[in-house]
Structure 1
Amino acid sequence: MVSIAIIGRPNVGKSTLFNRLVGKRLALVDDQPGVTRDRRPGEGRLMDLSFEIVDTAGLENAHSESLSGRMREQTEEAIRIADLSLFMVDVKSGITPEDQDFAEVARRAGGKIVLVANKAEARDSDIGYLDAYALGLGDPVAISAEHGEGMGDLRDALVEALGIEVFDRDAVASDEAIVDVPVPEDDDTPLPYDETKPLRMAIVGRPNAGKSTLVNRMLGEERMLTGPEAGITRDSISVEWEWRGRHFKIFDTAGLRRKARVQEKLEKLSVADALRALKFAEVVVIVLDVTIPFERQDLTIVDLIAREGRAPVIAFNKWDIAEDRQELAKELREKTERLLPQVRGIRTVMISGETGEGLDRLMKAVVDTHRTWNSRVTTAKLNQWLERTIAHHPPPAVSGRRVTIKFMTQVKTRPPTFMLSTTRPEAIGASYSRYIINGLRDSFDLKGVPIRLGLRKPRNPYAAKKKRSS
């Protein structure tokens, strides 16, 4: 597929154009310059043309070791690998010396360039539009990324630069959120686990836990911007990856701080973007800093994942700097079991995103957890187990009346969800529900994933006859 990068100085509207071309609000947009930091790819569509579109950080003159300098390196890499670059300028504010400097950078890269004059709908933008010719990048294409004006002219410019034959002109299938569809109760035969099916995986955690470093180690390249500064990642970036022949879609997310500490509008947008990625994923890897694990926010993140019904795996990162590893590993596993009873048996892996230590063990834990998350137990086995469980520990009597449990069935997977039929659903307390859930977890090897238990009253087949007779 043709790859097109959107480049330019900060705050010229690159992310707004990116969102318009992909047809979704994927990239964060704000009046504050420098919102985008990482390269964000997406499937773009412009009329009959389909292509890969890449949003990039704004080009800035900065030292290579600074955050802005590392952002610029990411953008220059996007220019090198793209088939074409859309060099955006803001004709409302006019051409700046930075525009002139970066136009020279783009020319030196040697790739094909289309000059895009954004915000052309503004009053008095004609002067800036004419000034854009001085950049020496050809005729500027006047557009309004915010209002969708000039998209036909942009389409013609892309065809003129690359030729119509290189574009995929079929419709692009957009990613859809995973929707859990209940399985009919009369069809409870477990299907074999499909080890070839693509798997969506999100990487979450507190700021500076090493999430982007881990993703870079997986990909084998400096794909994500990293550094000692906390909170570098803002957008939730998705990348494709393959491990042992299986396809993965990985979402690197912004660090999740305590809600009370999230004050700035931009950070609120970043957190909301991370939460959307979490809901879109199947398996969520929670990255904990092994030097300061199990802070309150870490426990909150795991609880959130469990309530969302995602399949969690804990990665204790920075294992390369840990001392007395054997004792520390024992302590971490003990704390995991004690502090996270809602996902008892959750898989934990000691890793180093910096060196790659434990990466294979982490991916095996991800696949095993995904397999458990998709598990199905037949109704026959469930009710044989239920009979033994009730005989060993019957539900408590309430107000002198016994509670009768009729049967149990699994109504869906992802996560495993069970329905218990009982004469008095309101009388089954939280403690007995936990007893049933823990028994299911131990007996059917459903460790480490959320389990949901619903209660319902069986339908009375004679109720309708009673109403008619009365």
Structure 2
Amino acid sequence: MRFIRRREALVYNTPGDHVTRDIREGVAKLGDLRFRVLDSAGLETAATSGSILARTADMSGNVLARSQFAIFLIDVRDGLQPLDLEVGQWLRRHASGIHTIVAMNKSESLDEHGVLTAAAGEAHKLGFGDPVAISAETGLGMAELYEILRPLFEEHMFQLTNNGLNQDDPTSEAETEAHEGDESKLPLQLAIVGRPNVGKSTLLNTLLQEQRVLVGPEAGLTRDSIRAQFQFDNRTVYLVDTAGWMERSGKEKGPASLSVVQSRKNLMRAHIVALVLDGEKIAKSKSSMSHPEVVIARQAIEEGRGLLVIVNKMDLLRENRPLFDKVIDAVPKEIQTVIPQVTGIPVVFMSALEGRGRIAVMRQVIDTYEKWCLRLSTSRLNRWLRKVMSRHSWKDSATQPKVKYFTQVKARPPTFVAFMSGKVQLSDTDIRFLTKSLKEDFDIGGIPIRVVQRSIPRKETVKSNSRNTGPRINTRMRTDKRATVSEPTTS
């Protein structure tokens, strides 16, 4: 969090438990340095094979394999532990090509007692050179760390230049500026939500095509909301895998309670929300969506987000064709029933474990996002309005609402304003008709659309002549309009 300057990772004092279980990624800012930083889940060299700790250690090893530098954090208040020595040996054996810097964290209180020098001498035994004393919580030692990293980064970039290699700009600022005029080309924020153990993390790994998130049969395995960046069809996508919080009781303590808050916050940052359902459970139950799933789907629509429903684990129904067809037929119908305000919400059936359906999911995400960013010109909308108003059945032409003009005021989601003249306003039925016609005629179904109306104020009809004298103006004000207009002038 100190590097990326925001509260992104879960932080909780649980000595007997590993709070971080997945790989977190962000753009670090240290002075004038900008670099991509990955927070690993920790290394447990003596973990039992197949356990959660062993799986997180494997993921950390994969992260190190594609890194150029590593900051080896130790808790200076506890002193050098046997596990620290084992991790040091592991790094020398498996990551010898990585420049490792030892950072003594939680050093804010040791210097006062004169213990810091002794602690640095002990940390020197790890064999990675002189350690740097820091405090991730208070910011102590960040200047010293900058002085160590800057020459290393400069040398690394010099080598890349000599080798003719280029690295992507981690901030994506160039891409944002290039697509500034076209909102649909800006980086896309996609959030994956769903009940625990429906396969959200497996789906994220499938979309990224790498083992970024820890997966397994244990429910509630994901604690952090994992944010990852990848490219699809020359488009930058930021993917957030939220912890499965929809069926939790609200009485959680510790890391579980923090993950609930974090998941809700990340959900509201998203542009497109992918709600993941369990196809196997749908086949065994009477309804496609539970109450928490309906709530989150409606919340996404009310917040103006694009919604995509993904039915996962369809590979488990492949042997039972009637159940397979039942799920494919029932889910879209039920979604339309429980969320009637938006028609045509896209549904994709897939198997994240087998990797089937990845392309279909991403194409549907891109299609929904482009509709969500759509902008229509006022002239085009008013030509459409004349046609659509003529085909609407009005009860009484005399009381028909008069729409002066129709325009789009914003995108993300598309929001339109009907400017009304006269006293008659559009009814709820009329607004629903206009919304439905917009979706059908411009092919923007499946996303929330907002139509509001505003009245055009009447203009004052009283005319005045600035060249008239004061008494002349007073005389006209005492007469009615017709008499004032017809009054002859004398010279």
Q: Distance in 2 between matches of 1:393 and 1:99?
A: 77
For 1:343, what is the secondary structure of its paired residue? coil
Which of 412, 415, 420 does residue 414 from structure 1 map onto? Answer: 412
Residue 152 (structure 1) aligned with residue 152 (structure 2):
no
Deviation of the 1:329 alpha carbon: 0.6
Residue 200 (structure 1) aligned with residue 189 (structure 2):
yes
For normalisation by structure 1, the TM-score amounts to: 0.81
- The corresponding residue for 1:16 is none
Q: Percent same amino acid among aligned pairs? A: 34
CA deviation map 1:5-50 (0-9, x unaligned) = xxxxxxxxxxxxxx11122222222223522111112222222333
Deviation of the 1:258 alpha carbon: 4.3
Q: Distance in 2 between matches of 1:175 and 1:269?
A: 29
Residue 132 (structure 1) aligned with residue 100 (structure 2):
no
For 2:264, what is the secondary structure of its paired residue? helix
Q: Distance in 1 between matches of 2:54 and 2:239?
A: 25
- The corresponding residue for 1:346 is 345
- The corresponding residue for 1:43 is 27
Residue 53 (structure 1) aligned with residue 37 (structure 2):
yes
Which of 159, 165, 169 does residue 155 from structure 2 map onto? Answer: 165
Q: Rg larger in 1 or in 2?
A: 2
Which of 9, 13, 29 does residue 11 from structure 2 map onto? Answer: 29
Asked if the contact 1:395/1:403 (under 8 Å) is kept, the reply is no
Asked if the contact 1:225/1:232 (under 8 Å) is kept, the reply is yes
Q: Distance in 1 between matches of 2:418 and 2:35?
A: 50
- The corresponding residue for 1:372 is 371
Q: Which moved more, 1:131-140 or 1:61-70?
A: 131-140
Which of 231, 248, 253 does residue 237 from structure 2 map onto? Answer: 248
Asked if the contact 1:43/1:53 (under 8 Å) is kept, the reply is yes
For 2:440, what is the secondary structure of its paired residue? helix
CA distance change for structure 1 residues 48 and 444 in 2, over 3 Å: closer, same or farther?
A: closer
2:41 is matched by which residue type in structure 1? A
- The corresponding residue for 1:118 is 105
Deviation of the 1:429 alpha carbon: 4.9
- The corresponding residue for 1:270 is 259
Asked if the contact 2:10/2:224 (under 8 Å) is kept, the reply is yes
Deviation of the 1:349 alpha carbon: 0.8
CA distance change for structure 1 residues 444 and 464 in 2, over 3 Å: closer, same or farther?
A: farther
Q: Distance in 1 between matches of 2:396 and 2:289?
A: 36
- The corresponding residue for 2:215 is 226
State how many pairs are aligned. 433
Asked if the contact 1:287/1:314 (under 8 Å) is kept, the reply is yes
Asked if the contact 2:277/2:309 (under 8 Å) is kept, the reply is yes
Asked if the contact 2:348/2:360 (under 8 Å) is kept, the reply is yes
- The corresponding residue for 1:96 is 81
1:225 is matched by which residue type in structure 2? L
Residue 20 (structure 1) aligned with residue 18 (structure 2):
no
CA distance change for structure 1 residues 421 and 47 in 2, over 3 Å: closer, same or farther?
A: same
- The corresponding residue for 2:481 is none
Deviation of the 1:202 alpha carbon: 2.3
Asked if the contact 2:417/2:451 (under 8 Å) is kept, the reply is yes
Alignment RMSD: 3.4
Deviation of the 1:348 alpha carbon: 0.8
For 2:35, what is the secondary structure of its paired residue? strand
Deviation of the 1:260 alpha carbon: 4.4
Describe how 1:66-465 pairs up with structure 2 within 5 A: 66-109=51-94, 110=96, 111-123=98-110, 124=113, 125-126=115-116, 128-159=119-150, 162=152, 164-167=154-157, 174=171, 198-258=187-247, 260-261=249-250, 263-292=252-281, 293-322=288-317, 323=320, 324=322, 325-387=324-386, 389-390=388-389, 392-394=392-394, 404-422=402-420, 428-462=426-460
Q: Distance in 2 between matches of 1:38 and 1:465?
A: 73
CA distance change for structure 1 residues 464 and 234 in 2, over 3 Å: closer, same or farther?
A: farther
Asked if the contact 1:49/1:167 (under 8 Å) is kept, the reply is no
Q: Distance in 1 between matches of 2:423 and 2:200?
A: 43
Deviation of the 1:120 alpha carbon: 1.0
Q: Distance in 2 between matches of 1:465 and 1:108?
A: 91
For 2:280, what is the secondary structure of its paired residue? coil
Deviation of the 1:115 alpha carbon: 0.8
2:280 is matched by which residue type in structure 1? T
1:65 is matched by which residue type in structure 2? G
Q: Distance in 2 between matches of 1:283 and 1:425?
A: 39
Q: Which moved more, 1:70-79 or 1:103-112?
A: 103-112
CA deviation map 1:208-245 (0-9, x unaligned) = 11111112122322121111112222222232323344
For normalisation by structure 2, the TM-score amounts to: 0.78
Structure 2 portions without partners, runs of 5+? 159-166, 282-287, 465-476, 479-491
Asked if the contact 2:416/2:450 (under 8 Å) is kept, the reply is yes
Q: Distance in 1 between matches of 2:84 and 2:332?
A: 54
Deviation of the 1:426 alpha carbon: 10
Q: Distance in 1 between matches of 2:142 and 2:367?
A: 46
Asked if the contact 2:193/2:275 (under 8 Å) is kept, the reply is yes
